[in-house]
Amino acid sequence: MGTQAAGILIYYSPLFFFLQFLLAANFILIILRRRLIRKKKWAMLTLHSALVVILAGALTTFLFGKQGQVHIREGEKTDRMMMHTSRGVETETLPFTLELTDFRLIRYPGSQSPSSCESDLLIHADGEVREAKVYMNNILDVKGYRFFQASYDRDETGTVLSVNRDVAGRTVTYTGYLLLLTGFLLMFLRPDSRFRRLLRQLKEVRKSLPAAVLLMIATLAHAQDTPGEAMTAAVRENRIPATHAARFGALPVQFRGRVMPMNTFSSEILRKVHKEQTFGDLTSDQFLLGLLAMPQMWTQVPLVVLPAGERTSAQEEYAAYGAFFDGQGNYTLLPRLQEIYHRPADTRSASEKELIKLDERVNILYQLLNHTMPGIFPDPDDPSHTWHAPGGEHSAFSEAESARITQTFGRYLAEVRQALGSGDWNGADGALNEIEALQRESDGASLIRPEKLRAELYYNRIDLFNRVKLGYFIAGGLLLVTALMQLLRAGRRQRHIAAALTVCTLLLFLCHTFGMGMRWYISGYAPWSNSYETMVYVSWATVLAGHIFGRKSLLTRALSTLFGGVILFVATLNWMDPQINTLAPVLKSPWLMFHVAVIVAAYGFFGIGFLLGVANLSIMAFAKSGSRPTRYVEELTIINSLSLLAGLVLMTTGTFLGAVWANESWGRYWGWDPKETWALITVVTYSVTTHLYLVKRWYSRWLFNLLSVYSFATVLMTYFGVNYLLSGKHSYGQTEGVSSFFIHIGIAFAALGVLGVLSRRRGTAEP
**Helix, strand, or coil (residue 51):** helix
Q: Is the pLDDT of residue 212 over 80?
A: no
The mean pLDDT of 722-743, rounded to a whole number, is: 64
Q: How confident is the model at residue 179 (pLDDT cuts 50, 70, 90)?
A: very high
Mean model confidence pLDDT for the chain: 86
What span, in angstroms and rounded, lies between the C-alpha atoms of 287 and 67? Answer: 55
The mean pLDDT of 226-246, rounded to a whole number, is: 76
pLDDT at residue 106, as a whole number: 86
Q: How confident is the model at residue 529 (pLDDT cuts 50, 70, 90)?
A: confident
For helices 262-274 and 350-369, give the axis angle rounded to 10 degrees.
Answer: 140
What span, in angstroms and rounded, lies between the C-alpha atoms of 692 and 685? Answer: 11
The mean pLDDT of 701-721, rounded to a whole number, is: 93
Which is more confidently placed, 433 or 108? 433
Identify whether the C-beta of residue 148 lies closer than 8 Å to the C-beta of residue 29: no
**Residue 27 one-letter amino acid:** F
Instruction: Please give the full DSSP string across 624-651, using - where no structure is assigned.
Output: PTTSTGGGGHHHHHHHHHHHHHHHHHHH
**Residue 499 one-letter amino acid:** A
pLDDT at residue 226, as a whole number: 40
Q: Is the pLDDT of residue 197 over 80?
A: yes
pLDDT at residue 221, as a whole number: 35
Q: Is the pLDDT of residue 225 over 60?
A: no
For residue 329, the tally of other CB atoms under 10 A from its CB is 6
Q: How large is the C-alpha radius of gyration of the chain?
A: 30
Q: What residues contact 186, with CB distance under 8 A and at least 6 apart?
A: 42, 43, 46, 47, 193
Query: In Å, how far from its chain's centre is CA 203?
Result: 37
**Helix, strand, or coil (residue 388):** strand
What span, in angstroms and rounded, lies between the C-alpha atoms of 5 and 19? Answer: 19
Going by C-alpha positions, the residue among 72, 27, 74, 86 that lies closest to residue 51 is 27
Please work out, in degrees rounded to the nearest 5, the angle formed at the alpha carbon of residue 598 by the alpha carbons of 592 and 602. 140
Q: How confident is the model at residue 220 (pLDDT cuts 50, 70, 90)?
A: very low
Peptide bond into 578 cis (omega under 30): no
Identify whether the C-beta of residue 647 lies closer than 8 Å to the C-beta of residue 605: yes
* Least confidently predicted of 246-250, 418-422, 582-586, 670-674: 582-586
Phi-psi category of residue 323: left, alpha or beta, with phi > 0 → left and psi -120 to 50 → alpha: alpha
The mean pLDDT of 155-180, rounded to a whole number, is: 92
The count of residues in the chain is 767
Q: Is the pLDDT of residue 214 over 70?
A: no
Query: What's the Cα-to-Cα distance from 714 to each of 210, 573, 701, rounded to whole Å?
Result: 35, 22, 21
Give per-residue pLDDT as tens, 251-267: 999 998 899 999 999 99
Identify whether the C-beta of residue 259 lies closer than 8 Å to the C-beta of residue 322: no
The secondary structure element, H or E, covering residue 107 is strand 88-107
Identify whether the C-beta of residue 604 lies closer than 8 Å to the C-beta of residue 542: yes
Phi-psi category of residue 162: left, alpha or beta, with phi > 0 → left and psi -120 to 50 → alpha: beta
The mean pLDDT of 418-429, rounded to a whole number, is: 94
pLDDT at residue 86, as a whole number: 64
* Least confidently predicted of 61-70, 135-144, 737-746, 757-766: 757-766
- DSSP summary character for residue 582: P
User: Is CATH 1.20.120 what the domain over 467-583 is classified as, yes or no?
Assistant: yes
pLDDT at residue 95, as a whole number: 94
Q: Is the pLDDT of residue 741 over 90?
A: no
Burial readout 1-36 (b: 16 or more C-beta within 10 A, e: otherwise): eebeeeeeeeeeeeeeeeeeeeebeebeeebeeeeb
What span, in angstroms and rounded, lies between the C-alpha atoms of 319 and 303? Answer: 6
CB-count burial class (<10 Å; 0-12, 13-18, 19+) for 113: middle
What span, in angstroms and rounded, lies between the C-alpha atoms of 412 and 617? Answer: 65
Q: Is the pLDDT of residue 693 over 70?
A: yes
Phi, psi of 70, deg, nearest 5: -125, 125
Q: How confident is the model at residue 517 (pLDDT cuts 50, 70, 90)?
A: very high
**Residue 201 one-letter amino acid:** Q
* Residue 117, strand partner residues: 105
Q: What residues contact 663, with CB distance under 8 A and at least 6 apart?
A: 164, 170, 669
pLDDT at residue 201, as a whole number: 86
State the sign of the Cα–Cα–Cα–Cα dihedral 508, 510, 511, 517: positive
Identify whether the C-beta of residue 250 lies closer than 8 Å to the C-beta of residue 457: yes
Q: What is the dihedral of CA 618, 623, 628, 630, to 10 degrees?
A: 50
Q: How confident is the model at residue 740 (pLDDT cuts 50, 70, 90)?
A: confident
What residues does each domain of the chain span?
A: 1-64+166-192, 66-165, 240-445, 467-583, 598-767
Give per-residue pLDDT as tens, 395-411: 778 888 888 888 999 99
The H-assigned helical ranges of 623-721 are: 633-666, 674-690, 701-710, 712-716
pLDDT at residue 704, as a whole number: 95
Q: Is the pLDDT of residue 581 over 60?
A: yes
Give per-residue pLDDT as tens, 75-97: 999 999 998 776 778 899 999 99
pLDDT at residue 206, as a whole number: 61
**Residue 22 one-letter amino acid:** L
Q: Is the pLDDT of residue 611 over 70?
A: yes
Give per-residue pLDDT as tens, 454-477: 999 999 999 999 999 999 999 998
State the sign of the Cα–Cα–Cα–Cα dihedral 574, 576, 577, 580: negative
CB-count burial class (<10 Å; 0-12, 13-18, 19+) for 664: middle
What span, in angstroms and rounded, lies between the C-alpha atoms of 544 and 560? Answer: 8
pTM: 0.72
Q: Is the pLDDT of residue 761 over 60?
A: yes
Going by C-alpha positions, the residue among 208, 69, 148, 19 that lies closest to residue 664 is 148
Which is more confidently placed, 587 or 710? 710
pLDDT at residue 219, as a whole number: 36
Going by C-alpha positions, the residue among 234, 323, 324 that lies closest to residue 280 is 234
What span, in angstroms and rounded, lies between the C-alpha atoms of 221 and 466? Answer: 14
Identify whether the C-beta of residue 724 lies closer than 8 Å to the C-beta of residue 732: yes
Identify whether the C-beta of residue 571 lies closer than 8 Å to the C-beta of residue 465: yes
| Proportion of the chain above pLDDT 70, given as a percent | 90
Residue 6: HSE in the Cβ half-sphere, 13 Å Cα cutoff: 10
pLDDT at residue 246, as a whole number: 96
**Residue 358 one-letter amino acid:** L
pLDDT at residue 208, as a whole number: 56
The mean pLDDT of 38-43, rounded to a whole number, is: 88
For residue 380, the tally of other CB atoms under 10 A from its CB is 12
The mean pLDDT of 632-653, rounded to a whole number, is: 91
Give per-residue pLDDT as tens, 368-393: 999 999 999 998 888 888 899 998 87
What span, in angstroms and rounded, lies between the C-alpha atoms of 358 and 570? Answer: 23
Strand order, beta sheet including 140-142: 128-135, 114-125, 88-107, 77-85, 66-73, 158-165, 145-152, 140-142
Q: Is the pLDDT of residue 757 over 80?
A: yes
Going by C-alpha positions, the residue among 461, 542, 554 that lies closest to residue 719 is 542
CB-count burial class (<10 Å; 0-12, 13-18, 19+) for 636: buried
Going by C-alpha positions, the residue among 521, 124, 461 that lies closest to residue 264 is 461
Q: How confident is the model at residue 215 (pLDDT cuts 50, 70, 90)?
A: very low
pLDDT at residue 672, as a whole number: 85
Query: CA end-to-end span of the chain, whole Å?
Result: 46
What span, in angstroms and rounded, lies between the C-alpha atoms of 53 and 402? Answer: 66
Identify whether the C-beta of residue 766 lies closer than 8 Å to the C-beta of residue 701: yes
Q: How confident is the model at residue 412 (pLDDT cuts 50, 70, 90)?
A: very high
Q: Is the pLDDT of residue 326 over 50?
A: yes
**Helix, strand, or coil (residue 133):** strand
The mean pLDDT of 627-650, rounded to a whole number, is: 86
pLDDT at residue 227, as a whole number: 39
* Least confidently predicted of 102-111, 521-530, 728-737, 742-751: 728-737
What span, in angstroms and rounded, lies between the C-alpha atoms of 726 and 759? Answer: 34
The mean pLDDT of 525-540, rounded to a whole number, is: 86
pLDDT at residue 505, as a whole number: 94
